[in-house]
Amino acid sequence: MSTTDSVGWAGTRIAPRPFVDKLHEWVTTVDHKRLGILYFAFGLTFLLVGGIEAAVMRLQLIRPHNDLVTPQVFNQMFTMHGTTMIFFVVMPILFGFANYLVPLMIGARDMAFPRLNAFSFWLSAFGGLFLYFSFVGGYGLYGAGTAPDVGWFAYAPLTAKTFSPGHSTDFWTLSLLVSGFGSIGTAINIIATTLCMRCPGMTLGKMPLLVWLNLVMAGLVILALSPLTAAQLMLLVDRYLGGHFFDTQAGGSAVIWMHFFWVFGHPEVYVLILPSFAFASEIIPVFSRKAMFGYPVMVAATVAIGFISMSVWAHHMFTVGMSSGGNLFFVLSTMAIAVPTGIKIFNWLATMWGGKIYFKAPMLFCIAFLFQFLLAGLTGVMLGSAPFNWQLGSSYFVVAHFHYVIVGGILFTVFAAFYYWFPKVTGRMYSETLAKVHFWLFVIGFHLTFDFMHVPGLLGMPRRIYTYEPGRGWDTWNFIVTIGVFFQAAGVLAFVANMIRSYFRGRRAGSDPWDAWTLEWSTTSPPPEYNYASIPVVKSRRPLWDLKHPEDPDWKYE
């Protein structure tokens, strides 16, 4: 990073700063770029941990009646895997990108509340560490300690003291409560920054799509994370103050936990996907050499998705016994949300159409994202049809569907984003060859695992089972699914190796290696602490296009 270079003014060498000093700087930083990098490091570390948990599960399921791990450990694995991946991998990485990019893209010098920003990060980090302390803390003896084993959505009354004595549920509740406050803090920051700190000339209609998508995402976080906080407070009241919110023996309702959780849980997945759309919306135009097709509709579709997403939650509860009218409402809202989502896919396609496509790593991952997200959305429509859901729900079909979205959709765009902005953040180019190795290994592994995972669901295999009976026709499929894990692991290793090696030995990248059009490419790589020497003034959505093409600027057409 430029601020800790050991080359001083006029080329004189000054002594490198002690490690403790550098560490202190990082721990106390309030700079949005540094915090972004801290989020990345945190998220990527937990990606490896969550991946190991997945590998353990898949190895246990490679054949029926396997005994690699006990049922107790397996149940902890799927709980920890889900909780980790959602709250301590994807959310931190996406917040990291939001933190790093939003101020740069709107021509600001930092976020609106830098100290709140740092506080939010450390809250999330603490939440993650606290969750993992459960493996060694608590009763800490039987195999894997007292890690949560109630599933990542922790249905009542399994979480009541009667059915979950000990502290496993409490680790789940408290770690998410704490990191939830961190997420709300970051969301407040994103909203305030976006609404108040745009550079002159950048009206809301001229913001990059990434900024729009993160704004809507932040709004969803504000509205959606709070129900989870409320429900978790109620759970704590039940477990420790003798309350009866979810105590079915006292007339309480297990179903109301499901409603509260999914009122959070469904918008949460849109919180995860909107930034992914953001990455695709920045990368696809640049690598197709064309402006985004239909910017206004993309914004409208995003806002529509944000609103509708708050009304679809009970499609996770079609089997719970709601009335036919209730089921019908949620079928309609679920299918309705497919419309703006599908429109976005068409817009990306139209951006590529008639363009000039460069197959660099960011674009490869985005093209794969388009195919995979299309399929994931379609299996989602299948699941949205309630009677079909009565068969497919709670089965491996659902597991395949949501991994298709989260891995095939979100993780692919996250990889694309890492490659795309790596030169800006580090000032160096990554190895394109190694990136392509990563891509192909990961794509093969992804499809081996998650394409074939749909089949056991269609053949009646429910989820969250530590083993299964032979003779149900599930054996071969499970075997293939497990094999894919090895390819994905190899791909991720290639990715990590690329990041590390290129950081130290990559070719120096200039400020604009991709010939791109948004503001962050106008400053150095990496940007100075203050981002811009003078605050830019913009006239269109692609300020750098205007500079590079003064004969044909965007503002003539917008």
Partner 1 sequence: MSIIAALGQAAQPPLSPTNIFAPVSTPAQSIFELSLLVLAVVGAIFVIVSGLLAYASVKFRKRKDDDGREPAQVYGSSQVELAWTITPVVIVLVLFLATARVIFSVQDAPRPPGSLEVTVIGHQFWWEYRYPGLNVVTANELHLPVGEPTFLTLLSADTDHSFWVPRLAGKTDLIPNHPNKMWVEPRETGLYLGQCAQYCGTQHAKMLLRIYVESREDFDRWIHEQAAAARTDDLSSEGRRIFERTACINCHTVAGTPANGRFGPDLTHLMSRETIGSGIARNTPENLRAWIQRPDALKPGSLMPPMGLTDQQLDAVTAYLASLR
Partner 2 sequence: MFSLIAAEAAIFVIFVVAYLFYLGKSISGPTPSVLHVPVFLTVCLLSSSWTIHRAVAALRRGEIGSFARWWTSTIVLGAVFLGGTAREWQHLIADEGLTIRTNLFGTTYYSLVGLHAFHVTAGVIALTTVSLFTLFGQLKREHAARVDLVSLYWHFVDVVWIAVFMVVYVVGR
Q: What one-character DSSP code corresponds to residue 7?
A: B
Residue choice 161, 244, 289, 501 for contact with partner 1 (CB under 8 A): 289
Count of alpha carbons within 13 Å of 277, Cβ hemisphere only? Answer: 34
Ranges within 60-89 binding partner 1 (CB under 8 A): 70-72, 75
Number of residues that bind partner 2 (CB under 8 A): 31
**Residue 263 contacts which entry, partner 2, partner 1, none (Cβ below 5-8 A, type-dependent):** partner 2
> Which one, 100 or 260, has the nearer CB to partner 2?
260
User: Shortest approach of partner 2 to residue 33 CB, angstroms?
Assistant: 23
**Residue 191 contacts which entry, partner 1, partner 2, none (Cβ below 5-8 A, type-dependent):** partner 2
Number of residues that bind partner 1 (CB under 8 A): 94
Long-range CB contacts (within 8 A, 24+) of 56-59: 57/81, 58/449, 58/481, 58/482, 58/485, 59/482
Residue choice 367, 405, 492, 516 for contact with partner 1 (CB under 8 A): 367
**Residue 244 contacts which entry, partner 2, partner 1, none (Cβ below 5-8 A, type-dependent):** partner 2
* 118: its two tokens: 């740092």
Nearest alpha-carbon partner for 183 in 91, 307, 264: 91
Nearest alpha-carbon partner for 218 in 85, 60, 97, 326: 97
Q: What one-character DSSP code corresponds to residue 425?
A: H
Q: Residue 90 in contact with residue 406, Cβ under 8 Å?
A: yes
State phi, psi for 469 to the nearest 5 degrees: -80, 140
Q: Report the sign of the C-alpha dihedral through residues 454, 456, 459, 460, in that order.
A: negative
User: Shortest approach of partner 2 to residue 186 CB, angstroms?
Assistant: 11
Binding status of residue 100 toward partner 1 by CB under 8 A? no
**How many other C-beta atoms lie within 10 A of the C-beta of residue 97?**
25
Residue bearing tokens 């976020």: 111
* 77: its two tokens: 């694995």
User: Shortest approach of partner 1 to residue 393 CB, angstroms?
Assistant: 7
**Residue 550 contacts which entry, partner 1, partner 2, none (Cβ below 5-8 A, type-dependent):** none
Q: Residue 123: helix, strand or coil by DSSP?
A: helix
Number of residues in the chain: 558
* 436: its two tokens: 């392509």
Binding status of residue 300 toward partner 2 by CB under 8 A? no
User: Shortest approach of partner 1 to residue 282 CB, angstroms?
Assistant: 16
> Which one, 220 or 298, has the nearer CB to partner 2?
220
> Which one, 251 or 325, has the nearer CB to partner 2?
251
> Which one, 201 or 462, has the nearer CB to partner 1?
462
Binding status of residue 460 toward partner 1 by CB under 8 A? yes
Residue choice 177, 392, 400, 544 for contact with partner 1 (CB under 8 A): 392
> Which one, 136 or 250, has the nearer CB to partner 2?
250
At residue 397's C-alpha, the angle toward residues 396 and 402, to 5°, is: 95
> Which one, 22 or 447, has the nearer CB to partner 1?
447
> Which one, 185 or 536, has the nearer CB to partner 2?
185
Residue bearing tokens 């960011």: 362
- Name the maximum alpha-carbon separation found in the chain: 77
User: Shortest approach of partner 1 to residue 358 CB, angstroms?
Assistant: 5
Show the binding pattern over residues 183-222: x = contacts partner 2 (CB under 8 A), - = does not: -x--xx--xx-------------------------x---x
Nearest alpha-carbon partner for 210 in 108, 103, 360, 349: 103
Considering only 138-146, 170-178, 443-451, 457-465, which stretch makes contact with partner 1 by CB under 8 A? 457-465
Please provide the distance, in angstroms rounded to a whole number, between the alpha carbons at the two ends of the chain.
Answer: 38
Ranges within 496-535 binding partner 2 (CB under 8 A): none
Residue bearing tokens 């290994």: 441
Ranges within 227-266 binding partner 2 (CB under 8 A): 227, 229-231, 233-234, 237-238, 241-245, 250-253, 256, 260, 263
User: Shortest approach of partner 1 to residue 351 CB, angstroms?
Assistant: 9
**How far, in Å, CA of 93 to CA of 418, rounded?**
10
Nearest alpha-carbon partner for 536 in 198, 110, 206: 198
Show the binding pattern over residues 467-496: x = contacts partner 1 (CB under 8 A), - = does not: xxx-xxxx----------------------
